[in-house]
Structure 1
Amino acid sequence: MPREIIAILRGVRPDEVVAIGQVLIDAGITTIEVPMNSPNPLDSIGLLVDNFGDRAAIGAGTVLTGQTVRDVASVGGKLIVSPDTNPDVIEETRACGMASFPGVSTPTECFTALRHGANGLKFFPAFLVGTKGLSAIKAVLPKETKTYAVGGVGPDNFADWFKVGITGFGIGSGIYSVGHSPDDVAKRAAEIVKAFDAQRP
């Protein structure tokens, strides 16, 4: 069963992204997001797709417009992650045959996202929603809804989120920050995978 961990490579450069993608996949993390406010993000996404597209789900984060969705599709991306719930972005993502993970923090946003075709919900920032908030919202969501906590989550609180039924996590600075070498990323990824495997139900 694939691990529901999304590696968020905010700020990654095309000249380093392949080496970083390799250590993530070696560690067992096979969903990788390059935020659109990174340097030349489409180049990085294309390189990841060319090198690892048969082994990993590669896509973009911080996607705010339908045009960006189409741009990501043009380089082979398979998933679109957004900080907000934008029906136009969700619908364009699905029309392009990609998976949609919009950002939500309220029941209204959750149901709006699902009605427009979201594949999963990104609770962002997770530390504002909290485990109690997620527990309350999950009580009214369809049982099969995939939920991801992003922002302020890591190995020290995976267990708390799993207890309230989270599907998985998006990890940014806990895996990669600007200036981190592939070795740095490999160590962090290994720790995250170990904690995820030990704590998931």
Structure 2
Amino acid sequence: MTERPSDEARDARFVEMLAERRVVAIVRGRDADAALRTVITLFEEGIGLVEVSLVTAGALDVIRQARAALGDSAALGAGTILTTDDAVAAEEAGASYLVTPAVTKAVSYGRLPVLAGAFTPTEVVAALNAGATAIKLFPAFHGGEQYLRALRDPFPHVPFVPVGGVSADAATAYLRAGAVAVGVGSPLVGDAADGGSLAALKDRIRAFKDLP
């Protein structure tokens, strides 16, 4: 039987994946079938980290089916995790990491890496103390890359992932300001998870894959 990695090794590997892959695609949609197609297309086209928000229609089934299609190695996460029950359900469906919008009880779940939502320095400290693996700076557009630079002064070793209004241009600015990765929803996914064009999605993917 393969030995389960330690929490420290698991979390370190997740941060390494963030740094290597640089973009976390955030899928939210009203059509479960379209959301599943979107998740698979994102991975097939080279986006190496995908989060399915639990606000998506049939989100847990989307995660379950995507995991079956993509295999165990895909970095497939679950987002909008508010409670421990959400965390348990997401893990059982096949999520390999969790994303919260704020410092919720789920940050302390402990069984999976957690990208925890925080904005102020106080929230960053609370998230880290609760066990966050990395910090989802949300909503990032309120402060932009200058705010990220300011936060990194007291927290130089914290892996920050700005989320909220992140265009391709903004993603470049955040990465240059020291973000380990960026989380991108509608500027990348668009309406694909509602049944929109997968061809248009592929065009947007290329823009984010070509980040300097």
Q: Which residue of 2 aligns with 1:13?
A: 31
2:188 and 2:169 map into 1 onto residues whose CA distance is 14
- 1:164-179 mapped onto 2 (5 Å cutoff): 164-176=177-189, 177=191, 178-179=194-195
The one-letter code of the counterpart of 2:132 is: A
From 44, 49, 60, the equivalent of 2:67 is 49
Q: Which residue of 2 aligns with 1:189?
A: 205
Residue deviations 1:27-69, cap 9 Å, x none? 2111111111111110001111111133421121111111110
TM-score by length of 1: 0.88
TM-score by length of 2: 0.84
Contact 2:136 2:162 in 1 (8 A): yes
TM-fit CA distance, 1:132: 1.6
Percent sequence identity over aligned pairs: 30
Q: Which has the higher helix share?
A: 2
The one-letter code of the counterpart of 1:84 is: A
Q: Which residue of 2 aligns with 1:153?
A: 166
Contact 2:167 2:187 in 1 (8 A): yes
Aligned positions, number: 191
Q: Which residue of 2 aligns with 1:114?
A: 128
1:53 and 1:149 map into 2 onto residues whose CA distance is 28
Q: Which residue of 1 aligns with 2:47?
A: 29
Q: Which residue of 2 aligns with 1:180?
A: 196
Residue 67 of structure 2 aligns to a residue in which SS?
helix
Distance 1:12 1:137, change over 3 A: same
Gaps of 5+ in 2: 1-16
Distance 1:12 1:6, change over 3 A: farther
2:146 and 2:97 map into 1 onto residues whose CA distance is 28
The one-letter code of the counterpart of 1:147 is: F
2:102 and 2:34 map into 1 onto residues whose CA distance is 28
From 144, 148, 155, the equivalent of 1:134 is 148
TM-fit CA distance, 1:115: 1.2
The answer on 1:73 being equivalent to 2:91 is yes
TM-fit CA distance, 1:98: 1.1
Q: Which residue of 2 aligns with 1:90?
A: 107
Contact 1:14 1:47 in 2 (8 A): no
The one-letter code of the counterpart of 2:39 is: G
1:26 and 1:74 map into 2 onto residues whose CA distance is 24
Residue deviations 1:145-168, cap 9 Å, x none? 211111111212223212221111
1:6 and 1:173 map into 2 onto residues whose CA distance is 12
